[in-house]
Amino acid sequence: MTDEAAPVDEATPGEGHAGWRPLPPRARSLFALSHAMFGALIAVPLSFVALMSGRMGFGIAMIALVALAIAIGVRVGVRRWKSTAWRLDDDGFAYRRGRLFFRETRVPASRVQHLDLKHGPLERRWKLATLIIHTAGSRMSAVSVSGLDQDDAEALRDRLARQLDDDDAL
């Protein structure tokens, strides 16, 4: 698959509507980095305490633990990126992720209240975006999809907003 996914468009048959679309390859870096930072946040305080205790051998082992936690975080992030996909059809938006603990979320267009796009500094660097779909109801009142291609996220937002406007017109 190429780095650029086909844009979401009503006229595009097939993959944009019937099939699941993976996240773009450049989102892999964002997922790997965020999970590596999480691993480091867990292991670094432990190694700092070990170094302050004065036991050099224990401190070196803790530094190795930090490196291992970062490596595991990168691996988990890449696997999470690989197992994440989305789909938009006439009924609404679907989002799935996970391998061991698989989760699929379906948002019918009729439940969409409003939509937000969020672009953090790293997302802007890699031309990615986070689409936040606010829904009616109290449980899981928002679905957040990070790592989307910026153009796809804008097209998804516009298409879901049009579906929402069309439903309001009826």
pLDDT digits over 93-117, tens only?
999 999 888 999 998 888 888 899 9
User: Among 62, 80, 98, where does a domain finish?
Assistant: 80
Q: Which two tokens stand for residue 71?
A: 């490596």
Give the residue with greater pLDDT, 45 vs 30.
30
Which pLDDT value is given to residue 33? 92
Q: Band of the pLDDT at 126, cuts 50, 70, 90?
A: very high
Which pLDDT value is given to residue 170? 55
Range of the domain at 143: 86-169
101 shares its domain with 45: no
Query: Do 153 and 129 meet the contact criterion of CB atoms below 8 Å apart?
Result: yes
pTM: predicted TM-score of the whole model, two decimal places? 0.74
70 shares its domain with 90: no
- The domain total for the chain is 2
Whether residue 25 is predicted with pLDDT greater than 50 in this model: the reply is yes
User: Among 48, 80, 112, where does a domain finish?
Assistant: 80
Query: Do 151 and 159 meet the contact criterion of CB atoms below 8 Å apart?
Result: no
Q: Annotate 23-57 with DSSP letters as a single string.
A: PPTTHHHHHHHHHHHHHHHHHHHHHHHHHHTT-HH
Three-state DSSP at 134 gives strand
